[in-house]
Amino acid sequence: MENEITESYITMPAGFKAAGVACGLKTDHGNSGPMDLLDLNMVQSDVPATVAGVYTKNLIKGHSLQRTIRVIDAGAKIRALVVNSKNANACVGPKGYQDAVAIAEAAAKELGCSPDEVLTASTGTIGIRLNEEKVMAAMPKLVSSLSTDAASAHAAEKAMMTTDTVPKEVSAKLTLSGGKEITIAGMAKGSGMICPNLGTMIVVFTTDAAISKEILQPALNKAVAHTFNRVSVDGDTSCCDMVVVFANGVSGASIEAGSEDLALFEEALTSLSLDLSRMIANDGEGASKFIEVVCRGAKTAEDAQLIVTAVAKSPLVKTAVFGEDANWGRIITAAGYSGADFDPEKVDIRLAGLLVCKNGQATDYSEDEASELVKQHDIKIEIDINQGDFEDRMFSCDFSYDYVKINGSYRT
């Protein structure tokens, strides 16, 4: 699926509005600059929407996220999502959940809907109580700012960014079998476990197709599996990670179970997830390089995953890529300790397209050529273990001085 749209934003599907405002959470911590101060957003559907979600597997879950999971599991249709940045609303005790409830209630009051139709999400510092009064005081302004226009949608994206350096917005238009057109849009904030504390990946998709929850949830699971679940900035998993998709049906087009339209929708959702995943890895904290790790020829899907995960997370591989060092020994070593079962003497490795290792030993590649190739921004690492038919892939980025700087700085 090629994406022919030049500008993307979350309100492109019919019947969605968005807004991003500054409620003062970022000011609390001494930030400055008008765009830097956006810290509260809302995505709203004109009509109740079907919502599916995928969440962090971390045992520690933020209070806003805990509430969202409960609301989605309860099965009601959803009108809006409120996201604040700068504070994760996590590990602060019973007040944390109460704050999330209070925020949903304030939003519901302004929107004229039930609090059970409002989702909540938070990203930022853990263990410090959210200043929920600031959030609630800003609610009338947030809701009155809701708009379908691109500027409001971009503001919504910026309001949930933390150490992200670029906005991450995607969209696609699909023509279904009956000739009806639907739109899918998505926005994301980065997955680096981010200064001041927890970065959190938050991804929101909207679509104006009508889709039942029974098929929307599996479609999202499928889309996430080899995209967002294959991004590693630093290997840490935040307590607030969340991907949600809103389907409001305003286009008048409906997608049915088992249909070709569903296959088309799943393909598009996966493709957009892939695009956002690449953007997230590319914008990893302090990243100077984008890394794609591919494993082929594994005996099992699990082995392929173990290998791409170990290589993508290895600090030594990540620092070597930062240093533009064609250091394939660290790659095969990471594969070796991954826990996957393979014969070291059958391993082939391509680094930036160059075959540097064949049957587990160095080829007679030119170090000069390798050194030139690893100067590129996008570095592909391909590991073929030649033992079977399974493959997997993971997106990552390098470890730079800036990564240490960003993550070593004090939580202010």
Q: What x/- string results for residues 366 through 405 when contact with a copy of itself is judged by CB under 8 A?
A: -----x---------------------------xxx-xxx
Which are the contacts of 67, defined by CB distance < 8 A and separation ≥ 6? 97, 100, 101, 104, 120
Contact in structure between 158 and 167 (CB atoms under 8 Å)? yes
Torsion of CA 10, 20, 273, 288, to 10 degrees: 130
Does 361 engage in binding with a copy of itself (CB under 8 A)? Answer: yes
Closest CA to 156 of 148, 26, 129, 199: 148
Applying CB under 8 A, among 112, 178, 258, 410 the residue interacting with a copy of itself is: 410
The residues annotated as belonging to the active site are 200
Q: What is the C-alpha separation between 260 and 253, in angstroms, rounded?
A: 13
Residue 53 bridge partners (DSSP): 244
Does 362 engage in binding with a copy of itself (CB under 8 A)? Answer: yes
Applying CB under 8 A, among 332, 354, 381, 383 the residue interacting with a copy of itself is: 332
Q: What is the C-alpha separation between 168 and 204, in angstroms, rounded?
A: 11
User: Helix 213-225 vs helix 260-282: angle between axes, to the nearest 10 degrees?
Assistant: 40
- In the chain, the amino acid numbered 398 is D
Q: What x/- string results for residues 87 through 116 when contact with a copy of itself is judged by CB under 8 A?
A: -x-xxxx-----------------------
Contact in structure between 360 and 347 (CB atoms under 8 Å)? yes
Applying CB under 8 A, among 193, 202, 245, 253 the residue interacting with a copy of itself is: 193
Q: What x/- string results for residues 211 through 250 when contact with a copy of itself is judged by CB under 8 A?
A: -----------------------xxxxxx-----------
- In the chain, the amino acid numbered 229 is N
Closest CA to 164 of 193, 143, 138: 193
Q: What is the C-alpha separation between 314 and 281, in angstroms, rounded?
A: 15
Report, in Å, the least distance between residue 42 CB and a copy of itself: 26
Contact in structure between 383 and 347 (CB atoms under 8 Å)? yes
Q: What x/- string results for residues 134 through 163 when contact with a copy of itself is judged by CB under 8 A?
A: ------------------------------
- In the chain, the amino acid numbered 257 is A
Choose between 85 and 125: whose C-beta lies nearer to a copy of itself: 125
Q: What is the C-alpha separation between 64 and 99, in angstroms, rounded?
A: 8
Does 327 engage in binding with a copy of itself (CB under 8 A)? Answer: yes
Applying CB under 8 A, among 316, 372, 380, 390 the residue interacting with a copy of itself is: 316
Choose between 2 and 367: whose C-beta lies nearer to a copy of itself: 367
Q: Tokens at residue 137, please?
A: 């005081």
Report, in Å, the least distance between residue 132 CB and a copy of itself: 16
What residues numbered 10-39 form the site for a copy of itself, per CB under 8 A? none
Q: What is the C-alpha separation between 41 and 146, in angstroms, rounded?
A: 9
Count residues near a copy of itself (CB under 8 A): 65
Report, in Å, the least distance between residue 407 CB and a copy of itself: 4
Report, in Å, the least distance between residue 265 CB and a copy of itself: 31
Residues that bind a copy of itself (CB under 8 A): 57-61, 88, 90-93, 125-128, 193, 196-198, 234-239, 313-316, 319-320, 322-325, 327-330, 332-337, 340-342, 344, 357, 359-362, 371, 399-401, 403-405, 407-411
